[in-house]
């Protein structure tokens, strides 16, 4: 079975953060000829789990991706191997790694958007945003995470919690980044 071999490679990658060489796959697969490995790799390339550029092996996106399914009441769609979508979290969530960072949310001012205390938020560093964006901003020298609203020329911040009133900047409102995604881990 070729998928066992793929899993072994995935495990190796998970542990070492790189693909095994052919010699290492020999041990991994309990084989004794590099040619056997060569043929297996060839097959994995055909299946689009691996790729090669000028004799250098690399994983594809499919290699990392998790199956993505939708919930239909009738049947459990993951059972059907075909028609599956695949998604890599890092690729899905992070546009430019250079300008992204994570922020741990504190407070309940955004519960209306499903952003709770302790959640992790992915922020894209930039100083421009459009009305409705959740922004990391400095309002009158205080840092906060709120919804940006532009009312004509005036910009102000709003919570997603009826407990809090809108925040109008007395002096300045500087935007530092825009929230791209929320992540909450259970347990």
Partner DNA sequence: TGACAAAGTGAACGAAGGTTTACTATACTG
Partner DNA sequence: CAGTATAGTAAACCTTCGTTCACTTTGTCA
Site for a copy of itself in 122-161 (CB under 8 A): 122, 133-134, 136, 138, 142-145
Collapsed DSSP state (helix, strand, coil) of residue 15: helix
Does residue 109 carry a catalytic annotation?
yes
> Which residues, other chains included, contact 60 with Cβ-Cβ below 8 Å and sequence gap of 6+?
48, 49, 50, 51
Is position 56 an interface residue for DNA (rule: CB under 7 A)?
A: yes
Report yes or no: 148 and 160 within 8 Å, Cβ to Cβ: no
Report yes or no: 54 and 43 within 8 Å, Cβ to Cβ: no
Is position 39 an interface residue for DNA (rule: CB under 7 A)?
A: yes
Which region among 27-35, 85-93, 148-156, 160-168 touches a copy of itself (by CB under 8 A)? 85-93
The tokens describing 66, both together, are 């998790």
Torsion over CA: 160, 163, 168, 172 (sign): negative
Footprint on this chain of DNA (rule: CB under 7 A): 2, 21-24, 29, 31-41, 43, 52, 54-57
Footprint on this chain of a copy of itself (rule: CB under 8 A): 7, 10, 14, 16-19, 21, 53, 56-61, 63-64, 66-76, 78, 87-90, 92-94, 97-98, 100-106, 111, 114-116, 119-120, 122, 133-134, 136, 138, 142-145, 176, 179-187
């Amino acid at each position: 079975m070729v998928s066992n071999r793929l899993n072994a490679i995935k495990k190796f990658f998970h542990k070492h953060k790189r693909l095994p060489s052919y010699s290492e796959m020999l041990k991994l697969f309990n084989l004794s000829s590099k040619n056997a490995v060569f043929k297996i790799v060839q097959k994995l390339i055909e299946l689009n789990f691996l790729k090669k550029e000028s004799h250098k092996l690399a994983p594809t996106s499919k290699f990392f991706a998790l199956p993505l399914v939708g919930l239909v009441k009738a049947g459990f769609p993951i059972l059907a191997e075909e028609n599956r979508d695949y998604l890599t979290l890092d690729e899905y969530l992070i546009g430019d790694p250079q300008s992204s960072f994570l922020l741990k949310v504190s407070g309940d001012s955004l519960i209306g958007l499903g952003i709770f205390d302790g959640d992790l938020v992915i922020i894209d560093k930039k100083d421009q945003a459009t009305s409705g964006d959740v922004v990391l901003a400095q309002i009158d020298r205080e840092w906060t995470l709120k919804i940006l609203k532009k009312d004509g020329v005036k910009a102000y911040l709003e919570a997603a919690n009826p407990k809090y009133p809108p925040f109008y900047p007395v002096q300045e409102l500087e935007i530092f980044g825009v929230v791209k995604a929320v992540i909450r881990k259970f347990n």
